Amino acid sequence: MVPEDTRILLTATTGQYREVLDYFLHVFQEHQELLGVSDWLHAAEHLTHRSADNPHPLYPFDEVFPRYPSGMRRAAIAEAYGEACSWLTRYNRWQEHKSKVSAKNEVRVRQGKKEVVFKEHPPLFPGVGNNWLTYYGTEIKILDAHHVLFKVWTGKSYAYRKAVLLQPLIVPAGYEAGTPMLIHKQGGWQLHVPVVLPRKAVKLESVQVRVGKTDFRMCCVDLGINHHLVMTIQDRKGRVLATKVISGGEDNHLRKGYLEKVVRLQKQTRVIPEGERFAADLWDKIGNFNDDVAHRVSRAIVEFAKKHGAKTIVFEHLTNLKPSKGTKSHRLNQKFIFWVKGRIVKYTRYKALHEGIVVNRVSPRNTSKECPYCGVHSRVTKAWLTPSARPVASKT
């Protein structure tokens, strides 16, 4: 429960945090050599933070944002660094695709063929959008299950304000409260507190996999488009002991309905006001829906593996997936399906670790051509008995 005056202060605090985030995004854009290095936080602070050892930083952050809390500053640096690294990955992928098209065009020119026009635009460097403030430990104090104390911008300085949690914060035994995030939704301000398992509590001995044991079992997961996935429990000889299919038709249909609403609004509006998020509520709903799907499916995978005593979960390592041609909503839907696939693997990894199960990813090369038992490539023999007879296929 947040008083009205505190709500105003939270809005101002979030607004200033986004200004700080935009500041560090520009720093990383001008110094892209920092992306990918191990000491990126120290390097970014050396460029911006004034100290006794660094009296004249290149970007005097404290002149623009005087007395800004150190925890919030580091949260902004970390988020800016993450978004900048994500952009760099997409930009390198775009350059690689462009170079491949150029190489193909050189071959086509030598063959007397017409060049293929490369129409893909380079990804834009990220800007500030719907970003929310992450509270590091120095800026927030959880008093008890119902009360929390955190810093807010009062207009002149930062001070602590007390808030009452409508739902009690319950941390299971053996777990710890992670880094909270302040988010505003239609119902008001929310404090999202993740519950994490301390690294020291995870014993590597408990998740070791011994394939040679006679009772060894693994859960093989095949992610799909129409179906979320197909799971099988196999022993060390490759014999299938159990199978489960999780359909994705209803989720895909519901998501496509949301995307069709977005497309219809775009056709009606045509002009999007500068500096505003288009159809923000719909996009937030789609994002939350996709995240919920990934959590539900990953939980089902771990429970299925645990039920049948599997010691490891195996996924195919799929990359460079592209949506097929179709309407805009259809392409967006398939893009989100591919995005959810990555989230499913990510969420399954940490959920399985809590149950002592290891998650692995294997190369999908020739998995559809090789026999799962002997590894020999499948051969298809066609024999036409009569003009109207169907081909007979035999696989080995």
Same domain, 22 and 125: yes
Question: What average pLDDT is seen over the chain?
Answer: 82
Same domain, yes or no, for 92 and 241?
no
Asked if 238 and 138 sit in the same domain, the reply is no
In this structure, are 23 and 65 located in the same domain? yes
- Residue 131: the pLDDT is 92
Cβ–Cβ under 8 Å, residues 158 and 150: no
Q: What is the pLDDT at residue 320?
A: 57
CA proximity to 142, closest of 185, 104, 193, 203? 193
Is residue 157 domain-shared with residue 207, that is, in the same domain?
A: no
For CA atoms 38, 43, 44, 49, the dihedral sign is positive
Asked whether residue 373 is domain-assigned, the answer is no
Q: Indicate if 150 and 247 belong to the same structural domain.
A: no
C-alpha to C-alpha distance for 257 and 259, rounded to whole angstroms = 5
Pairing, β 195-196 against β 227-235:
unpaired
Block mean pLDDT (10 aa), the chain, length 396: 77 94 96 93 94 92 93 95 95 94 94 91 91 89 88 90 87 85 87 78 49 75 82 85 88 83 77 64 84 91 92 78 62 71 88 87 65 49 37 41
pTM (2 d.p.): 0.68
Q: How many domains does the chain have?
A: 2
Instruction: Please report the pLDDT score of residue 270 as a whole number.
Output: 66
CATH code of the domain containing 239:
3.30.420
Domain shared by 265 and 147, yes or no: no
Do 52 and 105 sit in the same domain of this protein?
Answer: yes
**What's residue 265's pLDDT?**
80
Q: 53 in a domain, yes or no?
A: yes
* Cα–Cα–Cα angle for 71, 77, 80, rounded to 5 degrees: 140
Strand partners, 134: 181
Query: Range of 314's domain?
Result: 202-362
Same domain, 131 and 269: no
Say if residue 206 is in the same domain as residue 348.
Answer: yes
